[in-house]
Amino acid sequence: MNDGRQKFQRSRGSIPDRDFYSGQKGEALKPEIRATESLIAECNPGSPTGTKTLMEEVCNRANLERALKRVKANKGSGGVDGMKVEELSAYLKGNWQEIKERLLTGAYKPQPVKRVEIPKPDGGMRKLGIPAVLDRFIQQAILQVLQEMYDKTFSEHSYGFRPKRSAQQAVLQAQKYISEGHTIVVDIDLEKFFDKVNHDRLMSTLAKRIEDKRMLKVIRAYLNAGVMEGGLVKLAQEGTPQGGNLSPLLSNIVLDELDKELEKRGHLFVRYADDSNIYVKSARAGERVMKSVTKFITEKLKLKVNEAKSAVDKPSKRRFLGYSFTNEASPRIRIAPKSLKRFKERIREITNRNRGISLMRMVKELMDYVRGWMGYYRYCQTPSILEQLSSWIRRRIRCYIWKQWKTFANRAAMLIKRGVSEKIAYASARAPGLWVASHSESLQVALPNSYFARIGVCPLKSFVKV
Neighbours of 189 (CB within 10 A): 15
E strands, 35-150, in order = 113-119, 125-130
Strands 125-130 and 323-325 come out as unpaired
* HEC letters along 399-410: HHHHHHHCCHHH
Model pLDDT, residue 21 = 58
Name the stretches of the chain with pLDDT < 50: 1-18, 23-49
Taking CA atoms, 401 is separated from 352, 395, 410, 424, in Å, by 11, 10, 12, 18
Q: What is the pLDDT of residues 237-265, one digit of tens each?
A: 777 877 789 999 999 999 999 999 999 99
116, 110, 157: which is closest to 135 by C-alpha? 110
